[in-house]
Structure 1
């Protein structure tokens, strides 16, 4: 396979977005307390948790890449009109090859999760199903579409927590945070092509504020000093609010697209904030290290 063809296949997987999915897993590890074994209590089962981190990271790569690639498969006819430069309508990747790649990536995600435990495998299967449902049906639904997309991220965070299955019964409600944040992004993104969706933009703004307030309350509940989380929330606010406010004022599709791109990349900061709230600022920084990688990839590959 030559370089240009390989680049076309990589375009289908949205590499910058895949890195944001890794942040879900790493934040899930912080919630479950697994980073303690890896970083602090080295030698007390750390090897096993490190291996599980690798398996679940591979799982989310497969699930996310497969899910977004299937999106282009189902949107091939629409993209031929609205985004003819994309890999399938441009003829650089055939629709059948893209479908096979998407399917195999989802299978990889499920198999990788199964190497950790049965709970992880079941969650991965659910995420794969939710992704395909969104690609085929959910994105066309005004209300259920954003919820469907948000549930994919919820499942991804729970996939990270599932490294210690017993913790899921306590921490599953935290899945509402990525659900609300991603539902907001999905709602806002509907103006990317035609603009004129001010109500959706205001709704997204309100949902972003709700997420920030929810994360800010975590240190109180988990006895982490608030100062360890506030810098991450400040960075998150800096990333998402200025481009969204510009989009609200202008209703310009290009500015809406920039707002969506900033929010997608900012999923890493959301996860870093959660990790800091549960495991301290050092673990938050570890998750945040994914941000420059995602930003670099975002210059090479489309995010939306």
Structure 2
């Protein structure tokens, strides 16, 4: 994904891993844990940190894999600008993947590793092999779905398939649209992303059972997600130029937060959903200094 805004005065490693954008992954394991009925307590609180480590690893690996293309299209990025060497960026990616596996093991032992290991492999496969193929959006969606399942754990993964599919579907649309960040996209591609956003919002707010307060919280979060992301994507449908697509992609990344909150609230974890939602204003504020794309 895209370039880095406001490069001057920002640590190049912060830019390399898109550090503030990691706020958009903390809620993945929360949503997965809520669906599985396994709250994040005690050692399991390390699972959101494992998600962050895997996300940062993917961002560093992304820039390592794209370093020659970025020298032409995104020369302000840390590697082509010479502020970080390619070998060091690769080392950062490998180290963060290792940290994600260690944190997962500490949080849930072998049960967590049955999801964390495929997640790490999927991240590396996407950045090094699949990103430049038609399977790229699907591969990224798989990464996100596995991140949700990490919160449930291997034994309870089947209980979290719905939130995993919802967040994976959203990621599919955002990733497909992000391919037009440099040269623009087609209206059809933007419309496809908008359609997936609509389906994701409806799925996050739907379902049987739950108290009225839980249903109301889920509906409010899902509506906020749909409006914030859908508005930008609709603009891309009408004017699919590179700047508009970049804005829609950034909105899609930040939109993960209210979507995660909606999924957690619908499963009765309203307090957890509220904590997840608090990441959104901070992510947007920091995103003005370090682009999430």
TM > 0.5 fold call: yes
Report how far residue 50 of structure 1 moved. Answer: 2.8
Tell me the SS of whatever aligns to 1:79: helix
Structure-2 change in CA distance of 1:193 and 1:291 (3 Å): same
1:70 maps to: 61
2:4 maps to: none
TM-score (norm 1): 0.88
Structure-2 change in CA distance of 1:132 and 1:166 (3 Å): closer
Structure-2 change in CA distance of 1:173 and 1:235 (3 Å): closer
2:152 maps to: 161
Q: Distance in 2 between matches of 1:195 and 1:6?
A: 27
1:277 maps to: 266
Structure-2 change in CA distance of 1:161 and 1:201 (3 Å): same
2:199 maps to: 210
2:181 maps to: 192
1:236 matches 2:225 = yes
Structure with greater proportional helix content: 1
Report how far residue 26 of structure 1 moved. Answer: 1.9
Tell me the SS of whatever aligns to 2:80: coil
1:121 maps to: 113
Report how far residue 173 of structure 1 moved. Answer: 4.1
1:89 matches 2:47 = no
Decide which moves more: 128-137 or 22-31: 22-31
Query: Deviation string for 1:241-298 (max 9, x for gaps)?
Result: 1111111111211011000001101101110000100024333212111112212221
1:30 matches 2:34 = yes
Pairs aligned (count): 283
2:277 maps to: 288
1:223 maps to: 210
1:303 maps to: 292
1:7-26 equivalences in 2 (<5 Å):
7-26=11-30
The runs of 5 or more residues in structure 1 that have no matched partner are: 39-48
Report how far residue 85 of structure 1 moved. Answer: 0.2
Q: Distance in 2 between matches of 1:206 and 1:244?
A: 9
User: Is the CA contact (8 Å cut-off) linking 1:15 and 1:297 kept in structure 2?
Assistant: no
Q: Distance in 2 between matches of 1:158 and 1:105?
A: 19
Q: Distance in 1 between matches of 2:159 and 2:179?
A: 35
Report how far residue 6 of structure 1 moved. Answer: 7.7
Structure-2 change in CA distance of 1:172 and 1:196 (3 Å): closer
Q: Distance in 2 between matches of 1:249 and 1:88?
A: 34
TM-score (norm 2): 0.91
Decide which moves more: 15-24 or 71-80: 15-24
TM-align CA RMSD: 1.7
Report how far residue 209 of structure 1 moved. Answer: 1.1
1:139 matches 2:131 = yes
2:3 maps to: none
Report how far residue 213 of structure 1 moved. Answer: 1.6
User: Is the CA contact (8 Å cut-off) linking 1:185 and 1:264 kept in structure 2?
Assistant: yes
Query: Deviation string for 1:143-196 (max 9, x for gaps)?
Result: x1111000111010000111xx54323333432111110010011111111114
- Of 44, 51, 74, which aligns to 2:43? 51
Task: Determine which structure has more spread, i.e. the larger CA radius of gyration.
Answer: 1
The runs of 5 or more residues in structure 2 that have no matched partner are: 1-7
Decide which moves more: 7-16 or 222-231: 222-231
